[in-house]
Amino acid sequence: MSALSPRSWGVLFVLCGAIFLEGIDVAMLNVALPSIRADLGMSTGELQWVMSAYVLGYGGFMLLGGRAADLFGRRRMFVLWLTVFLLFSGLGGLATEGWMLIVARFVTGVSAAFMTPAGLSIITTSFEEGPQRNRALFIYSGTAAGGFSIGLVVGGLLTSVGWRWVFFAPVALSFLILVTALALVPKSPRPERTGQGVDLLGGATVTAAVVLLVLGVERAAHTGVGWTLGTLGAGLVSLAAFVAVERRSSSPLVRLGLFRSGSLVRANLIGLLFAAGFFGFQFLVVLYLRELRGWSTLRTSFAMIVIGIDAVLSPTLTPKLVNRFGNARVIFGGLLLAALSYALFLPVGADWTYPAMFPSLIVLGLAFALAYGPLTIVATDGVKEEEQGLAGGLLYTSFQFGAALGLSAVTAVNVAATDSDAPAALLDGYHAALVVPLAAALLAALVGAFGLRSRAGGSRAVASGATAECAEVSVAP
């Protein structure tokens, strides 16, 4: 593989900037929520909707956003929705009422749902499949991880100045990325759709299905059983309607034959379970440090930043391991390390020192580095160019739905196992809830084990031919 041109690196820089923006935006808001509630006088229920609105917009429209990139042009969708992201992030910072902030976050989530798979599909179609694309995806995944980790600290610093800066800072970054994208990301011909209609009914039913399922899962810990079951039931009905529509459509939004790929299905299922454990665990650690230990927002952020080692390892260590062992084995190793991380934290005590927590956090960063990038490769490998946006949308939908599922599950178990505000009772709740991410990681590892035999030979074959070629490209992430 010849060295990438400066323009190619520029394109990758733009796309990495966009995924970094999405990660830092979410992380900064997490640490700013208490300040937002105090300033706008929001109730706990309203405050929860600040996060829920983004989750619904992001998770609910991701699949539609991925397909839109394939149908209407990846660069066009990326630039358009990056602009929307910029505008509504700024409007969120100007909000004077809770409902204004909630609406702004919903539209910001929708814009991210269209922007993110468009960016990923630009990578998977601009870089040749194999070592070149894999290298780009490892750098991309490392940047995504870095955005979330750095966002925790930056959010704490900005919130100490004023919570509105948590929204204004992404505006400046978005504008820089937008200008650079217009200059560097090449225009491409409008996709040929002669004789093909746009599957509006399929788009409506799948979006309704995902929105309802995400809403039901995300709100499960905050509403009654009847409401949750009703919402999930409506989501499943919408999903069944979507499948029926796609089977009869001459130009389906989602070609159902795509799901005949065992590796793609496994990658999405593993992504869902991995995200459930990863985000559920981080949520519990933050609760432990803030509620039980009384740590400040900034101190908690600095404690968690060690997980961000994945931003360094993803583009450096992970490619070497994939070249040697193949994607399937590296993913499996990452899942086992995630389970080990959660297991190490299970005996957490009321007076644990940071060195006692450190092994769990550093192992989790390593686990993310091993799993995330290779999952992105497997989920898009071998997919037709005209369906790359859809494949990316599927993967990110799985991640988002998994995150909502994990957060809802750990919250429900934590609440059920905590019978008072006493430190001992809080600790009991954390111990019970920590079993959820451990179970999710073990289940993900079980799913990953099925791919070891089928992918090992092919992965080694690809790797052996790629090792020498990859050695010619050496660029710092």
- Residue 427 pLDDT more than 60? yes
Q: What pTM was estimated for this model as a whole? A: 0.83
- Residue 455 pLDDT more than 50? no
**Residue 282 and residue 278: Cα distance in Å, rounded?**
6
Q: pLDDT tens digits for 271-311?
A: 999 999 998 898 899 889 888 888 887 888 888 889 888 88
DSSP letter at 337 equals: H
Q: For residue 220, which of 406, 42, 29 has the smallest C-alpha distance? A: 406
- Cβ count near 235 (within 10 Å): 20
CA pseudo-torsion sign 126, 132, 134, 139: negative
Task: Summarize the confidence of residues 315-332 as an average pLDDT.
Answer: 92
Task: Summarize the confidence of residues 6-31 as an average pLDDT.
Answer: 86
More confident residue, 336 or 252: 336
User: Is-contact 167 340, C-beta < 8 A?
Assistant: no
3-state helix, strand, coil in the chain (%, to 5): 85, 0, 15
User: Is-contact 306 467, C-beta < 8 A?
Assistant: no
Residues found in the chain: 477
User: Is-contact 245 375, C-beta < 8 A?
Assistant: no
77: CB partners within 8 A, 6+ apart: 65, 68, 69, 114, 115, 118, 389
More confident residue, 171 or 454: 171
Q: pLDDT tens digits for 139-160?
A: 888 888 788 778 878 888 888 8
- Mind giving me the DSSP string for 167-230? HHHHHHHHHHHHHHHHHHSPP-PPPP-TT----HHHHHHHHHHHHHHHHHHHTTTTS-HHHHHH
